[in-house]
Amino acid sequence: MNHTIFHISPHNFTCLGILLDKIQLIAFLLLGTIGVSQTIIKKGEDHSYRGYVSSHVFSEDPSGYMKSFEIGIKWTTFMGEPVENYSFSWEANDRFKARVDGKAVTILKYELDKYPDLVKELEEVKPSRADVVLYGKAKGGSASVKPGSLPNEPRLFEQNGGSVKRAGQSYRVYNLLATFVYEVSDNNLLFGTSGKQTAGSIVGGSPNWNNFIQWRDKQTYLGGISSVADYHVLNYSKTKYNNLSAAEKENADRRFKNIYKLVDELEVRASLKTLEWGYQLESIAREYLKREKKKEKEEEEKESEKDEDDFWSDEDTVNGDDSDFWDSDGEHQKATDDDFWSSDRLEVDVIAPRNGSTSQTNVIDFAAKYNIQSNGFTGVVLYNGIEQQLLPSNGQFRGKLVLKAGPNNIRFQIRHGETVLNEQQVVVNYSGKPVKLRSTLTWNGHADIDLHLTHPNNGHCNYGNKNTGLAVLDVDNTQAYGPENISVEHMISGEYTISVVNYSNTPGIKATVYIFLDERLHTTKDIYFDHQREVVVERINH
């Protein structure tokens, strides 16, 4: 995309934010030797690699509970195909953070010593999900080529300055030098408690060599460390690979298998892409605070009773009725306290839009507040065939929704993993006219993904040209999850091309495009952004 340097638009701010993020990434990588160890793994028999890579955990864990982790790697081949096997272990910090009733709290381990059951519960905590990114350098043997020629896979070779002569012919010598990235997903890892290594129970096999290690340009080095940022990738994206013919797939797999065979050693580092704890840490923090508050209340009552005993100590009680009276009151107070502290159920209230309301615009604000905040909770709205995640903020899930003409049935769910903890429903009516074509975009992470539409009169609708006269970009999202939406009220004859652009160059994002014709869901397309920046989603001829 070409942006005017002197024009400060929301996307320019986004671009500046991306630049700052990359500067922070550069600083992290330059200082990586402080917390991220590098492991050199030599090639073994049958082109296998075995080793362990450890790393300290920094901002990847908002709870601060994981101090470091180690992943064991075993890459082998079976009948010519890649086979993966991993182990995972981690060490805990002496504290953790959690959000309880909207407030951030830090719990120190020693504070739990007075409650042995909570200590035991903390010892049983394990990650509910973790995705690990392995990255680094790949080095290999040499290749000799005639002057003026390049070796196969020239992006992966670097001339070492040497030359050799054979049969009177001079050859230049190149050495394999590449960078690589490979994401080990949660599906291929088992998690134990702190200090316990879990391995061998899950053996993963990549479906093909193209989707195994991602080979990247040798030019991308930063202080000798491979950056995880986006740069040239040799592999096909999963979407493009799936669209290849059988012969093209076979050639691609052979190509990347040969690259793997050329490697002699890997310099590997590891970092966390995703880390989730579920509800465990928050549950422990909530119970600890509840007990502490109850204990404080009981101590205050004891002090109050002591003062009353001192006041009445000079008087003789007539009979036992007085003690019965005070005991009764004490039991009543205890029961009330128990009832009060037992009410920690998840409660949700959709505050916008109101059920049964009518909107004059097709894009509305959605907000739902909830009483128990957790990093393990996800807010999702489902409406008109769309599934859209929402941003959590200060005890609310907030976002925008794109309505169709007429009634819109909206379901809001709070989920923990795949479990639905709470669901609310509202119906909103949009009083506007129906449109002939509508395309809605959502995605699954913190990134800036853009929706584009070109139409027959050479119009190009996007964030920089929101109204072409024929198509309108109703909503633009630069933070996370979407939505973005383009509407065409009246279609003219010709081709309409819908595409998406990974504007922030964020790797590993899954985007989903919902295409509606005459307000009915026509098709849904998923796009997985590996290295490609722009993907054409659909061409519609009218």
- 276-300 pLDDT, tens digit per residue, is 887 889 889 999 999 999 988 888 8
Give the CATH number for residue 512: 2.60.40.10
- Cβ-based neighbour number of residue 196 at 10 Å: 11
Q: Output the furthest CA–CA distance in the chain (Å, rounded).
A: 124
**Residue 343 located in a structural domain:** no
How many domains, the chain?
A: 2
For residue 40, pLDDT over 80 is answered with yes
pLDDT level of residue 205 (50, 70, 90 thresholds): low
Say what the pLDDT of residue 439 is. Answer: 96
Are 225 and 33 a contacting pair, CB within 8 Å?
no
**Residue 470 located in a structural domain:** yes
Average pLDDT, the chain: 80
pLDDT level of residue 497 (50, 70, 90 thresholds): very high
Task: Read off the pLDDT of each residue in 290-319 and give the average, rounded to a whole number.
Answer: 69
Q: Please name the helix (run of DSSP H) or strand (run of DSSP E) that holds residue 97, with its range, or none.
A: strand 95-100
pLDDT level of residue 307 (50, 70, 90 thresholds): low
Are 384 and 322 a contacting pair, CB within 8 Å?
no
- At which of 243, 276, 309 does a domain end? 276
Domain of residue 81, residue span? 35-276
From the number of C-beta atoms within 10 Å of its C-beta (0-12, 13-18, 19+), residue 190 rates as middle
At 49, list the tokens. 């690699």
Question: What's the CA gap between 28 and 321, in Å, rounded?
Answer: 72
**Residue 333 located in a structural domain:** no
DSSP state of 463: T
**Residue 292 located in a structural domain:** no
Question: What's the CA gap between 15 and 478, in Å, rounded?
Answer: 10
**Residue 237 located in a structural domain:** yes
Task: Read off the pLDDT of each residue in 401-427 and give the average, rounded to a whole number.
Answer: 90
Task: Read off the pLDDT of each residue in 466-483 and give the average, rounded to a whole number.
Answer: 90
State what percent of residues in the chain have pLDDT above 90. 40
For residue 403, pLDDT over 80 is answered with yes
Say what the pLDDT of residue 246 is. Answer: 92
99 compared with 15, residue with greater pLDDT: 99
Q: How many CA atoms lie within 13 A of 344 on its CB side?
A: 15
At 398, list the tokens. 């907030």
Report pLDDT digits (tens) over 88-104: 999 999 999 998 888 88
Task: Read off the pLDDT of each residue in 187-208 and give the average, rounded to a whole number.
Answer: 75
Q: Is 353 in the same domain as 261? A: no
Q: Is 132 in the same domain as 40? A: yes
161 compared with 21, residue with greater pLDDT: 161
At 103, list the tokens. 């407030």
Paired with 214 in beta bridges are 181
For residue 186, pLDDT over 90 is answered with no
Are 76 and 48 a contacting pair, CB within 8 Å?
yes
Task: Read off the pLDDT of each residue in 343-349 and give the average, rounded to a whole number.
Answer: 72
Are 462 and 474 a contacting pair, CB within 8 Å?
no
For residue 460, pLDDT over 90 is answered with yes
Report pLDDT digits (tens) over 381-390: 999 999 999 9
Say what the pLDDT of residue 33 is. Answer: 35
Name the residue type at position 115: Y
253 compared with 478, residue with greater pLDDT: 253
Say what the pLDDT of residue 407 is. Answer: 93
**Residue 461 located in a structural domain:** yes
For residue 171, pLDDT over 70 is answered with yes
Say what the pLDDT of residue 80 is. Answer: 82
Q: Is 67 in the same domain as 177? A: yes
Say what the pLDDT of residue 344 is. Answer: 52
Question: What's the CA gap between 37 and 55, in Å, rounded?
Answer: 6
